[in-house]
Structure 1
Amino acid sequence: MRLHPISAVSRALRYGVNGLSIPFFLVVILNTVGVGSVDWLFLVAPVGLVVGVAYGAMTYLRYEYDLGEDTFDVAQGVIGRTEREIPLRRIQNVDVSQNLLHRAFGVAVVRIETAGGGGTEATLSVVAEAEANRLRREIRERRARVTAEEAAAPAAETAAEPNAGGAAETGTDVEAGERGPATAAQSPSAPPAGAESSATEGQRPATEPTQPRELTSEVLFELSPVELLALAVTRFRFRSLALLIVAIPLAEDFILGLLLSAAAPFGGPSTLDPEVMTGQEMIAVGVVGPPLLLAASILLSVVVSTLEFYDFRLGREGDDLVYERGLLQRYSGSIPREKVQTITLTETFLMRPLGFAGLTVETAGYAGSRASQGSQSAVPIAKLDRTLALARELEDFEDLEFTRPPKRARRRYAVRYSIPIVLLLAVGYLVSTTVAQIPWYLPAVAFLVVPFAAHLKWANRGFAVGEDHLLIRDGFWNRTTRVVPYYRIQTVVSEATVFQRRLDLATLVADTASSATLLGGSPTAFDLDESTVNELQTGLRERLQASLHGT
C-alpha cells in the first residue's frame, strides 16, 4: 500500500525547494570568487526545481508498506532500496499524531515503535485518518494473536511428550501381542467412565491454541476542565523556560521596557548599559529580573500544559492502555500492559495540599522518538484516591509505611545546601572589594533556611518493602513514589560515594528493563544505612527468585 496522495505533493514541494536552493547557493558562491555569472540562475535553478520535484514524487511512488499476519513490512528508496520486516510481537506502540494542517486535510502521521529499538522503526507520513486508525487497531489485534500463539506453543509441546510416550508403550504391546497374548498387567488400563467428558469440561486441552480476547474499548479516565486547570497551575513545564529564553530576542524591546519599569521603584536604571549603571542599579535589576523570568515561565507553562493535555482520555483495549491528548497537536498511542516495568505517582508541592497526583508508567526498552521522556502519562492529574485506584489496576500493591533514611543523612543535606551559599558569599566579597561596594553578606540569610530544606529532603525520602513490590519515595518539590514489582527487577546494586562512606550510608538501585533505566533513571533509594542496603540487596534477590518461581 502507498501513502496518502497529499504525501506526494508534500514530498515534491520539499525536494523541489531543495533542488531550487542548492543551485542558487552554488551560483552565488561561485560568483563571489569570480566564476560564472548570476545569469546562470535562470538556467540552473529551473533544472534543480524539476529534478527535486521528480525525485520527491519518486520517493512517494517507491514507498510501500504492508501489514501481514506476523510482520509489518516497509520498502522505500529511489536509488538505494531498503526493505524491512518488523515482527508484530516486537511492536510496542503505534503512535498517531496530527497537527492543525493534518486535521484540516483528514490525514495523520503514524509512527511504529518497537521494544529495544534505537528509534522509530517506521514512519508513515502521511496516511488517511481512517487508515491510521485501522493500522493501529489491526496491529494491536494481530500482535495479541501472535503473542497468544507463542504462549500456547510451550504448552502444546509439553502435552505432546506424554502422547509420544504413550505411543511407544502401545507399540510395545503390539509387539507382545504378535509373540503371544498380552497379560492383563501389560494391557493399558481403560479410562474410567466419564473421564473424557470430565476433562473436557474441567479444562481446555493443552494443544488448543489460546485465542486473544476481542479488543473492546473501555474509557478509564477523562481529564475534566477543572483537572486540566489544576494541572496547568500545579505542574511546571521546564520546556517553557527554554521557550521563553528563545523568545527573548523576538520581543527584546518589550521585555527590556518591562524589566526597567519593574526595577524603577527599587532605584533601577533608565537604561541597561553596564558602563553607566551604578552598583545599586545593578542590584535592583538583579533583584527584579529573576522573579519576572519565573512569572513569565510559569504563565507560559500553563499555556503549554493546556495545549499538550487538552481533552486527555485514557482507555483500555484488550491488554493495552490507549490515550489521546492535545489541542493544536493531537496525539494518540498505546501503553502495553505486559511491557510495564514500573509505575510512578507524582505529587508536586502544589498538588499535595490540593490532594492531586499524577500517574506515569515506564515500559520495557521503549527507545522511540520520545525516549528522552522516559515514561508515558497514564493520568496527568487526578485526585489522589482516584490515581491510586488506577495505579492498582496496573499493579495491585498494598498500602505500606515508608522507612526514612537515618537522621544523620540530614547533616549531609545541610552541608550540601551550605556549600553554594559559602561560594556566593566568597564571590560577593571579591566583587565588593575589587569592583564596587555591594552588600555581599546578604546571601548569609539563606543559612536560616538550610535546616528546614535539609529536613524536608530527608522527610520525603524513604522505601517500603511489600509482599510483591518495592516502593521508593523521593523529592519534595516534585515528590515521586515508584512502584517496582519484584519480577521486573533486573539487578540490585549498592552504591556509596566517599562522603556517604564517612557517614556509613549507601544507595540502593533497583534496575529494571524500562526506558527510564536506559536513560539513568532507575528506581533509587538514597542515603540508607549501609547495613540496611546490604539486607535489602539480599532480600530483594530472594524475593525476585521467589516471584519468578511462583513461590
Structure 2
Amino acid sequence: MSSEPSAAGQAPAPDQRLHPLSWLFVLIGQLKQFALPLIVLLFTGRRSDSDLYALIGVGVLVLISIAQYFTYRYRIDSEGVTIRSGVFQRNLRHIPFARIQNVSLHQSLLHRFFGVAEVRLESAGAAKPEGQMRVLRLDQAHEFERLIRQRSAAAADGAAMPTAHAATTLLQLPTSEVIRLGLIDNRGMLVVGGGFALLAQAGDNLVGKLFESLFRWFTGQAETWHLGMISIAAAVLFLLLCVVVLLRLLSVLLALLQFHGFRLEEEDGRLRVERGLLTRWRGSAPRRRIQAFHLREGMLHRWFGRQSLRVDTAVGAAVDKNASLRDLVPIAEPARLDVIVDGLLPAQAWPVRDWQQLHARAWWRQFAPAAIVCLLATGFLCFFRGPWALLVLALLPLLLLRAKLWAKHSAYSVGNGLIAFRSGWLDRNWRFAEIDKLQAVEWMQSPFDRRHGMASLRFDTIGANPFSPALRLPYLPEAQAREIYRRISERLR
C-alpha cells in the first residue's frame, strides 16, 4: 500500500481505490430494505406493482454501487485522510489525524471468503463514521490501520511519528472462558425479549395467542395423561427448567458468536480488541480516551470466580454498538482484571484501599421512597380489592433489609486522582473515573437530605452510556460533599 506521506520536494501520495468487489458489498448493504419484496417475488411467483418497483430500485442500486467504486478515492497524506466520492455531486472530505479516535475493521463471512475488510474511521461523540471504506483488501486494510494509528498518535503528541513497538497482550480468552461468559451473562433472555417485542408490535395480539396456544397444549397433555395436581406442578417445574437451560444455551451461543477469539492488546498507547466467530471485528482507540469504568460482579460471577469490566470512551460508540470497546474485559479472574485496570489508571490508584462510608442514615434515605410507594400501593389495592391487599405490607421488612444491606456495602473514595463508588450485596458494582476526565459535577439535595445533613454528587464524562448507572456519590455527609464539590469544581475551571 503506497500511502506514505511524501517528503518535501516529492510528488504527493497517489489516490487509492477500493477493492474491485466493493460495489458488491455496498449493494448488499443497500438491498436489505428490498429483501422482503424480493423473497415474495422469487418464492411465491406473485407479482405486483410494489415488486416491479423493487426490481427497478435494485437495478438503480446496482448502477449506483458500481459508480461508487469508480468515483471513490482516498489518500493518506501528512495531515490526514482525504476522501473523494460522488457521481453527480462530487464530495471532498478531509479528516485530520487528530480527529480520528478509533479505527475498526469489520469482516463478515462474505468478507472473509473474499479476503477483504470494511474499515471505519470514528471520532469522539460522532453518530456515524467519519470515513467508511467498503471494502479494502485485508492486507491493505491492516496497513491502513497501522498508518492511521501511528499518524494519529503523532498528531496527538505533537511530535514526529513514533517508532512502532510490539503489541502487548493484556487478555486472551480461550473458548472455555467464553462459555463461562455465556452462562453468566444471560444474553439469550434479551433476544427472547426482543422477539416478544416484535410480536407485540406486529399486532393481532400474537403474544397472547402464543401463550394461549401453549396453555391449551399443556392442559390437553395433562388431561390425556390424567395428571394430578402434584404431577402438574412437577411438569411445570420441569418445563421451566427446560426453558432456563435453553436460554443459557442460547446465551452461550451468542457469547461464542460475539467473543470467540477475544484478544485485548496494547500497542503504542492504544488499546486494540479483536473478537468474533463468524463475523470478525477489530477496533482500536487511544487508552487516554477511556473516560469511566464499570466493574461488575454478580452472583454467577462469584460462583465462577470472575468479574466483568465495561468502559465509557470518548469515541462515538453509537456508530455500532456491537463494534465498540465498551466490553473491554468481558470476563476475567479478579486478580487479572485488577492488573489490567491498574495499568490503565494513574500509579497506585487501583485497587482502592481508602473507602469511606456513606452518611449514617443513608439506609433510611434509600428505604423511604420504596416504603412510600409500598404504602400507596397498599392503600390503592385495599380500596379496590379489600383488606386482603394488606398482605403487600409484608414487603416492608424486605425493603428495609435491602436498604440496610445496600448502605452497609456501599462506600466511596476520592484520592490518587480517582473518584470511585461501590455498591451492592448480591450483585456488586464499582463505578470509577479519573478526576481529570470529569466534565461536570452536579449537587443534589432533597428536603429530606437537607434535614438530615446529607447530599449527593453526580458526575458526567464524555461518552457516558445513558443505559448504564451514572457515576454518582449518593448520601454523603454534607460537609464532605461540599468539600468534594469544591475540589472538583476548581479542577473543572
Q: TM-score if structure 1 supplies the norm length?
A: 0.70
**Which of these residues, 417, 420, 423, is aligned with residue 370 of structure 2?**
417
Indicate whether 1:239 and 2:239 are aligned: no
**Which of these residues, 67, 70, 74, is aligned with residue 61 of structure 1?**
70
Distance 2:323 2:394 in 1: 37
- For residues 417-438 of structure 1, what are the alpha-carbon distances to aligned partners after superposition, in whole Å with 9 as ceiling and x for unaligned? 33454455456546646xxxx9
Secondary structure of the corresponding residue to residue 149 of structure 2: helix
Deviation, 1:313, is 0.7
Distance 2:403 2:324 in 1: 28
Indicate whether 1:369 and 2:324 are aligned: no
- For residues 455-479 of structure 1, what are the alpha-carbon distances to aligned partners after superposition, in whole Å with 9 as ceiling and x for unaligned? 2322332211223322222344543
Indicate whether 1:511 and 2:464 are aligned: no
Change (3 A) 1:252 1:106: farther
Kindly indicate whether the alpha-carbon contact (under 8 Å) linking 1:461 and 1:525 is maintained by their aligned counterparts in 2. no
- For residues 390-449 of structure 1, what are the alpha-carbon distances to aligned partners after superposition, in whole Å with 9 as ceiling and x for unaligned? 11111131432322222312112223333454455456546646xxxx964554443332
* Residue equivalent to 1:524: 472
* Residue equivalent to 2:310: 360
Deviation, 1:325, is 1.2
Q: TM-score if structure 2 supplies the norm length?
A: 0.77
Deviation, 1:241, is 4.8
Change (3 A) 1:287 1:448: farther
Kindly indicate whether the alpha-carbon contact (under 8 Å) linking 2:182 and 2:248 is maintained by their aligned counterparts in 1. no
Deviation, 1:223, is 1.2
Indicate whether 1:326 and 2:276 are aligned: yes
Indicate whether 1:403 and 2:356 are aligned: yes
Kindly indicate whether the alpha-carbon contact (under 8 Å) linking 1:375 and 1:515 is maintained by their aligned counterparts in 2. no
Matches within 5 A, 1:164-179: none
Deviation, 1:343, is 3.0
Distance 2:262 2:410 in 1: 31
Distance 1:42 1:432 in 2: 56
Secondary structure of the corresponding residue to residue 165 of structure 2: coil
* Residue equivalent to 1:121: 130
Which amino acid counterpart does residue 340 of structure 1 have in structure 2?
I
- Structure 1 alignment gaps of length 5 or more: 23-37, 153-209, 271-285
Matches within 5 A, 1:425-436: 425-426=378-379, 428-429=381-382, 432=385
Which segment drifts farther, 393-402 or 469-478?
A: 469-478
Matches within 5 A, 1:109-508: 109-148=118-157, 150=158, 152=159, 212-237=162-187, 239-246=190-197, 300-364=250-314, 366-370=316-320, 376-395=326-345, 396=347, 397-398=349-350, 399-422=352-375, 424-426=377-379, 428-429=381-382, 432=385, 440-476=389-425, 478-508=427-457
Which amino acid counterpart does residue 357 of structure 2 have in structure 1?
R
Which amino acid counterpart does residue 171 of structure 2 have in structure 1?
F
Which amino acid counterpart does residue 528 of structure 1 have in structure 2?
L
Distance 2:237 2:193 in 1: 21
Secondary structure of the corresponding residue to residue 525 of structure 1: strand
Kindly indicate whether the alpha-carbon contact (under 8 Å) linking 1:511 and 1:523 is maintained by their aligned counterparts in 2. yes
Distance 2:296 2:334 in 1: 10
Distance 2:51 2:483 in 1: 78
Which amino acid counterpart does residue 378 of structure 1 have in structure 2?
L
Deviation, 1:217, is 1.9
Kindly indicate whether the alpha-carbon contact (under 8 Å) linking 2:25 and 2:134 is maintained by their aligned counterparts in 1. no
Change (3 A) 1:482 1:328: same
Kindly indicate whether the alpha-carbon contact (under 8 Å) linking 2:299 and 2:426 is maintained by their aligned counterparts in 1. yes
RMSD between aligned residues: 4.3
Matches within 5 A, 1:37-116: 50-116=59-125
Distance 2:50 2:328 in 1: 55
Which segment drifts farther, 489-498 or 329-338?
A: 489-498
* Residue equivalent to 1:281: none
Secondary structure of the corresponding residue to residue 302 of structure 2: helix
Deviation, 1:534, is 0.3
Kindly indicate whether the alpha-carbon contact (under 8 Å) linking 2:117 and 2:138 is maintained by their aligned counterparts in 1. yes
Secondary structure of the corresponding residue to residue 354 of structure 2: coil
Larger C-alpha radius of gyration, 1 or 2? Answer: 1
Deviation, 1:495, is 1.5
Secondary structure of the corresponding residue to residue 527 of structure 1: strand
Which segment drifts farther, 382-391 or 322-331?
A: 322-331
Deviation, 1:509, is 2.1
- For residues 55-109 of structure 1, what are the alpha-carbon distances to aligned partners after superposition, in whole Å with 9 as ceiling and x for unaligned? 3321332222222222112222223222211111211111112222322232222
Which amino acid counterpart does residue 307 of structure 1 have in structure 2?
L
Kindly indicate whether the alpha-carbon contact (under 8 Å) linking 2:283 and 2:324 is maintained by their aligned counterparts in 1. no
Secondary structure of the corresponding residue to residue 481 of structure 1: strand
* Residue equivalent to 1:162: none
Distance 1:17 1:318 in 2: 39
Kindly indicate whether the alpha-carbon contact (under 8 Å) linking 1:339 and 1:364 is maintained by their aligned counterparts in 2. yes
Kindly indicate whether the alpha-carbon contact (under 8 Å) linking 2:25 and 2:135 is maintained by their aligned counterparts in 1. no
Distance 1:45 1:226 in 2: 46
Which segment drifts farther, 295-304 or 307-316?
A: 295-304
Change (3 A) 1:144 1:467: closer
* Residue equivalent to 1:5: 20
Distance 2:145 2:415 in 1: 37
Change (3 A) 1:53 1:340: closer
Secondary structure of the corresponding residue to residue 83 of structure 2: strand
Distance 2:328 2:420 in 1: 18
Which amino acid counterpart does residue 487 of structure 1 have in structure 2?
D
Secondary structure of the corresponding residue to residue 137 of structure 1: helix
Which amino acid counterpart does residue 6 of structure 1 have in structure 2?
L
Which segment drifts farther, 351-360 or 325-334?
A: 351-360
Deviation, 1:369, is 0.8
Kindly indicate whether the alpha-carbon contact (under 8 Å) linking 2:281 and 2:323 is maintained by their aligned counterparts in 1. no
Deviation, 1:125, is 2.2
Deviation, 1:47, is 6.1
Distance 1:121 1:528 in 2: 42
Deviation, 1:490, is 3.2
Which segment drifts farther, 522-531 or 288-297?
A: 288-297
* Residue equivalent to 1:539: 487
Kindly indicate whether the alpha-carbon contact (under 8 Å) linking 1:240 and 1:304 is maintained by their aligned counterparts in 2. no
Secondary structure of the corresponding residue to residue 377 of structure 1: coil
Distance 2:465 2:422 in 1: 16
Question: Aligned pair count?
Answer: 454
* Residue equivalent to 1:170: none
Which amino acid counterpart does residue 323 of structure 1 have in structure 2?
V
Change (3 A) 1:304 1:500: farther
Kindly indicate whether the alpha-carbon contact (under 8 Å) linking 2:357 and 2:410 is maintained by their aligned counterparts in 1. yes
Identical counterparts, % of pairs: 27
